[in-house]
Amino acid sequence: MPQPPVPRESRVRAGIVPPYLLLRIAAAEEHYDVAADAARRSLLRDEPMRELRVEGAHPGLLPHEHTRSATTGRDHDVEAEGEGAPVDAAVPEPAPDRRISDAQGAESLPGHLVRTEGQPATGDVAVDQAYDGLGEVWALFERVYGRDAIDGEGAPLEATVHFGDHYDNAFWDGERMVFGDGDGEVFRGFTQSISVIGHELAHGVTEMTARLRYRDQSGALNEHVSDVFGALTEQYAMGQDAEAATWLIGEGIFTELVQGRALRSMLEPGTAYDDDVLGRDPQPAHFRDYIVTDADNGGVHLNSGIPNRAFALAAVELGGFAWEHVGRIWYDALTGGTLRPNDGFAVFAAATLAAARERYGDVSREVAAVANGWRAVGVEPE
């Protein structure tokens, strides 16, 4: 696919976060997780991310920069980066590189490039929602997990909107996120929901890391990982803790004609909608109800309810901001290099437990919460 030679004005490519800084961040976070959790939470509460959504033009992520200096700069190991100290001019702040294209109702990709990084809002709602949403997903991955964009090296975040005629879906095609406008009867446009945008981008991250095969249990895990980071994107953007979070995926996607809140509920799978036309949300919430089917690549959008509930239960048990503990554990499991493409629920559960032990210690609330989550949905780690 031809890449227009868009100059990356304000950002310097490659590396983005130099290795020494990554080491510092890691070192700081080690302390951080156990020592300064409360401090960071209160700091985040003081600057709710929803402010970002007020001025659509630049979720230039300014409020996050305070968060960042709090996570990396206040720790005793990293005095060199104390707050307010001028940052080394040679180390540019990482920034997203968003590119939004418009398919103008055709089913061809990528469409016309209509908004690139730093450009003002276009006035096209879908274009601007996609741009803002991608900024929020990027912020979650970069600020919290230290991952710059999908590949971790700052590659462009590409999205196409207005795909197809009344196209009622959104998907990841291996290179970009693609959003339809919806049919207007069941679905409104798909860019309205940050959790959907996060879901699609996370498919790219999975493809770059654990490469979970999109079929049967590994496919349901692929879907699950996308729901996890979709939900966490929304929670991070809104400053919601696990208690306040809706745990819904795709809230606001249905038209008002549909009796339902969202596409899925991570906490209570099977309860997101109950509609005369759509029927009832078919997601199982327990492994004994695993659905064997040939459709939907082996029911990947159905059986994801099982690990989704395990994750949400663990998050609620721990309380606080889910992206800081369970989200980090899941991210470690996804990117740790131990998962194989065909792994199923049991192996994935074991990977999350191993990641929790690694980060928080064998005897920790985090390990207990993750174990309880999997137990509650009938998955035995192996």
Least Cβ distance, residue 173 to other proteins (angstroms): 5
In the complex with other proteins, the residue whose CB is nearer, 32 or 374, is 374
Q: Does position 171 bind other proteins by CB under 8 A?
A: yes
- What is the distance between the alpha carbons of residues 157 and 53, in angstroms, rounded to a whole number? 19
When binding is defined by CB under 8 A, the residue of 15, 92, 252, 344 that contacts other proteins is 344
Least Cβ distance, residue 177 to other proteins (angstroms): 9
Tell me if 194 sits within 8 A of 133, measured CB to CB: yes
Q: Which of the residues 29, 142, 158, 200 is marked catalytic?
A: 200
Q: Does position 14 bind other proteins by CB under 8 A?
A: no
When binding is defined by CB under 8 A, the residue of 110, 111, 189, 219 that contacts other proteins is 219
- What is the distance between the alpha carbons of residues 59 and 135, in angstroms, rounded to a whole number? 6
112 is catalytic: no
- Piece of 14-22, 52-60, 143-151, 163-171 that binds other proteins (CB under 8 A): 163-171
User: Interaction with other proteins in 265-324: which residues (CB under 8 A)?
Assistant: 277-280, 282, 284, 286-302
Least Cβ distance, residue 278 to other proteins (angstroms): 6
Q: Which of the residues 47, 175, 301, 358 is marked catalytic?
A: 301
In the complex with other proteins, the residue whose CB is nearer, 33 or 151, is 151
In the complex with other proteins, the residue whose CB is nearer, 241 or 281, is 281
User: Interaction with other proteins in 43-82: which residues (CB under 8 A)?
Assistant: none
Q: How many CB atoms lie within 10 A of CB 113?
A: 15
DSSP string, 185-222: SSB--TTS-HHHHHHHHHHHHHHHTT---SSHHHHHHH
User: Interaction with other proteins in 228-267: which residues (CB under 8 A)?
Assistant: 250, 253, 263
Tell me if 160 sits within 8 A of 177, measured CB to CB: yes
User: Interaction with other proteins in 359-378: which residues (CB under 8 A)?
Assistant: 378
Question: How far from chain centre, in Å, is Cα 100?
Answer: 18
117 is catalytic: no
Helix, strand or coil for residue 47? coil
In the complex with other proteins, the residue whose CB is nearer, 73 or 111, is 111
Least Cβ distance, residue 179 to other proteins (angstroms): 10
How many residues touch other proteins under the rule CB under 8 A: the total is: 59
Strand ranges inside 232-271, DSSP E:
248-249, 264-265
In the complex with other proteins, the residue whose CB is nearer, 129 or 226, is 226
DSSP string, 97-161: -EEEEE-TTSS-SS-EEEEETTPPP-S-HHHHHHHHHHHHHHHIIIIIH--BSTTSB---EEEEE
Q: How many Cα atoms within 13 Å fall on the side-chain side of residue 90?
A: 3
In the complex with other proteins, the residue whose CB is nearer, 17 or 212, is 212
DSSP string, 1-32: --------TT---SSSS-HHHHHHHHHHHHHH
Find the helix or strand (DSSP H, E) in which 170 lies: strand 170-172
Least Cβ distance, residue 292 to other proteins (angstroms): 5
Active site residues: 200, 301
